[in-house]
Amino acid sequence: MTSNGAEKNVQGQALRRSLYVTLAAWTALYILVFLAAVAYFEFSEKGEVAEMIAARTSTYYVLKEDEAEDYLETLDVPRGNFQTVSSNDGEVVVRDLTTYYFIRSLKWPIAVAVFFIGYVVVVCLLITRSVGYFNELSEALAGVVRHRDQPVRLSRELAVIQGELNEVREAALADERAAGEAERRKNELVAYLAHDIRTPLTSVVGYLSLMNEAPDLPDEQRKRYVSAALAKAELLDTLTAEFFEITRYNLATIPIERTDVGVRLFLEQIAEEFLPEMQRRSITSRVDALEDAEIRIDPDKMARAIGNVVRNAVAYADDGSEVVLSARRADDAGWEIVVSDQGREIAPEHLESIFDRFYREDNARSSSGNAGLGLAIAKEIVEAHGGSIRAESADGTTRFIILLP
């Protein structure tokens, strides 16, 4: 049985126990009150109550004293049912107690009937109280929908249900906030898409317009315009690919197909992809990893992730500096892959934000010509592997640390 199921079982037992205890207490109290009432009427039978009943139900006769006996014998009433009330000046007052004795004979049947009717009333009151729990739950459920910002409060007997309803309320609030955040992200995506695609597209249109308006341009200038337009078109292609990729990773779970890969050769191949840019700026690369060590990853996707990190490192490394890719076994038997460069630092307050989509930091390591999605894509891929990525930047050195299980 799950913890949640066990809590529900305990809650149900506690609620039933409470109802049973309440029923027993109310029953005991009712019996005591009923017995006290019976005792009161029993002991007061010859007192004021009995006299009141006899006076209201009796038939009175005023007879001559010498004729009373003969007259009473003529009535179809047992002699013992007559009672002499008073005698004065040769006259007697006699009353017929037949009705009173009949009522008295029904005393115990009436008492039993009253007892059961009263007990039914007690049980109905308890049932009404139990139904009140359902009304309380119904109002609480309505409150979860209408007043999500207010916590649910129920009776002590419904504590576990109160906790579950508050969890539902908090989850609904979280979903609402997530929906709002998703809408904001979507609007950002549209804004960034329009801005980042428009910039290179405007350049391409501009260069082509110049060549169209001046067909007699010198060959050298025409080649320069064609080269610039091609570079902007390639940038536009890269931006479009990044947008499609981050959207694909965002809408679906990234499928990971792991295989054993030689970690040193893997990192060397990634570094070689950036050799032309590094040579142009006199940047060198170094791979620090064991020759025969193997890592179990999806090589295509992880190459994309680490490649994005290396691209960022090369873009912001100082000319003539060194970019280092290292890999070593972590203490928890996982892998720690580090890409470090010497150059422009990342401000401490931006170390977390650089992995957000479309992130830009104007005065530090900005996107510089891309959509700001490279590190976000790297994070998506690393987390799909069950790992994490973070950045450290101090004393002119920036390190991107990837931890993989």
**Cβ atoms of residues 267 and 297 within 8 Å:** no
At 77, is the secondary structure helix, strand, or coil?
coil
Question: How does pLDDT run across 326-384, given as a tens digit for each residue?
Answer: 999 887 778 999 999 999 888 888 887 788 766 655 444 444 445 567 788 888 889 98
Q: How confident is the model at residue 47 (pLDDT cuts 50, 70, 90)?
A: low
Question: Is residue 227 domain-shared with residue 119, that is, in the same domain?
Answer: no
Q: Are 23 and 152 in the same domain?
A: yes
Share of the chain above pLDDT 90, in %: 18
Mean pLDDT calculated for residue range 395-399? 91
Domain presence at residue 167: no
Query: Are 401 and 338 in contact, with CB atoms under 8 Å apart?
Result: yes
**Same domain? 19 vs 122:** yes
Domain identity same for 190 and 274 = no
> Do residue 98 and residue 201 come from a single domain?
no
Sign for the CA dihedral angle at 314, 318, 320, 325 comes to negative
397 lies in a domain?
Answer: yes
Question: 287 phi and psi, to 5 degrees?
Answer: -110, 125
- The pLDDT score that the predictor gives to residue 399 is 94
* Mean pLDDT for the stretch of residues 176-181: 80
Using CA atoms, how far apart are residues 258 and 385, in angstroms rounded to an integer?
9
Are residue 76 and residue 152 in the same domain, yes or no?
A: yes
> What is the mean pLDDT of the segment spanning 303-319?
90
pLDDT band at 112 (very low <50, low <70, confident <90, very high): confident
Percent with pLDDT over 70 in the chain: 77
CA 353/CA 68 separation, integer angstroms: 117
- Mean pLDDT for 116-120 is 87
Give, as one character, the DSSP assignment of residue 202: H
Instruction: Report the alpha-carbon distance of residue 211 to residue 356 in Å, rounded.
Output: 40
What DSSP state is assigned to residue 295?
Answer: E
Question: Mean pLDDT across the stretch 116-128?
Answer: 85
Identify whether the C-beta of residue 367 lies closer than 8 Å to the C-beta of residue 348.
no
Given 251, 279, 309, which residue is the final one in a domain?
251
Residue 212: CB atoms within 10 A of its CB come to 8
Domain limits for position 39 = 3-156
Residue 280's contacts (CB-CB under 8 Å, 6 or more residues apart) are none
pLDDT(195) > 70: no
Structure tokens at 310: 């290396």
- Are residues 266 and 366 both part of a single domain? yes
Q: What's the pLDDT score for residue 201?
A: 80
CA–centroid distance for 196 within its chain: 37
Residue 50 resides in a domain: yes
Taking the alpha carbons at both ends of the chain, their separation in whole angstroms is 31
The answer, yes or no, to whether residue 49 has pLDDT greater than 80, is no
What does the pLDDT read at residue 351?
82
**Is the pLDDT higher at 303 or at 172?**
303
Q: Which two tokens stand for residue 143?
A: 């409150």
| Averaged confidence pLDDT in the chain | 79
Give CA–CA dist 328/117, Å, rounded. Answer: 84
Residue 11: its pLDDT value, please? 60
- Run of H or E including 340: strand 335-342
Same domain, 80 and 196: no
Last residue of a domain, one of 124, 156, 188: 156
Q: Is residue 364 part of a domain?
A: yes
Residue 19 lies in a domain: yes
Number of domains present in the structure of the chain: 3
Return all residues near 167 (Cβ < 8 A) that are at least 6 apart. Answer: none
For residue 73, what pLDDT is reported?
A: 67
In a domain, 175, yes or no: no
pLDDT tens digit string along 211-262? 888 888 888 888 888 888 888 888 788 777 767 766 665 544 567 889 999 9
Cβ of 305: how many Cβ atoms within 10 Å? Answer: 27
Burial category of 349 from C-beta neighbours within 10 Å (exposed 0-12, middle 13-18, buried 19 and up): exposed
Q: Which residue has the higher pLDDT, 162 or 302?
A: 302
Q: What is the C-alpha separation between 155 and 254, in angstroms, rounded?
A: 46
Q: Which residue has the higher pLDDT, 198 or 324?
A: 324
- For residue 296, the SS3 value is strand
Do residues 327 and 335 touch, judged by C-beta distance below 8 A? yes
Tell me which residue of 94, 386, 143, 87 sits closest to 402, measured CA to CA: 386
Q: What is the identity of the amino acid at 137?
A: L
pLDDT digits (tens, 9 = 90+) for 52-90: 777 787 777 777 766 767 666 667 677 677 777 766 777
371 φ, ψ (degrees, to nearest 5):
-85, 5
Identify whether residues 123 and 203 lie together within a single domain: no
Last residue of a domain, one of 198, 219, 251: 251
pLDDT of residue 170: 79
Contact between 126 and 18 under an 8 Å Cβ cutoff? The reply is no
Q: Are the C-beta atoms of residues 306 and 263 closer than 8 Å to each other?
A: no
* Cβ atoms of 122 and 30 closer than 8 Å: yes
pLDDT at 320: 93
pLDDT of residue 1: 45
> Can you give the pLDDT at residue 160?
67
Domain assignment of residue 168, yes or no: no
CATH number at residue 244: 1.10.287.130
Largest pairwise CA distance in the chain: 163
pLDDT number for residue 283: 93
11 and 66 co-located in one domain: yes
Instruction: Give dist(CA 355, CA 20) in Å, integer.
Output: 59
> Do both 242 and 263 map to the same domain?
no
User: Which amino acid is located at 230 in the chain?
Assistant: L
Which pLDDT does position 139 carry in this prediction? 74
CATH number at residue 316: 3.30.565.10
- In a domain, residue 171? The reply is no
Q: Which two tokens stand for residue 38?
A: 């019976």
Mark whether 189 and 148 lie in a shared domain. no
Between 276 and 44, where is the model more confident? 276
The answer to whether 330 touches 336, Cβ cutoff 8 Å, is yes
Q: What is the DSSP letter of 319?
A: T
- What was the pLDDT predicted at 369? 45
Phi, psi of 2 (to 5 degrees): -75, 165
| Phi–psi pair at 233, nearest 5 degrees | -65, -40
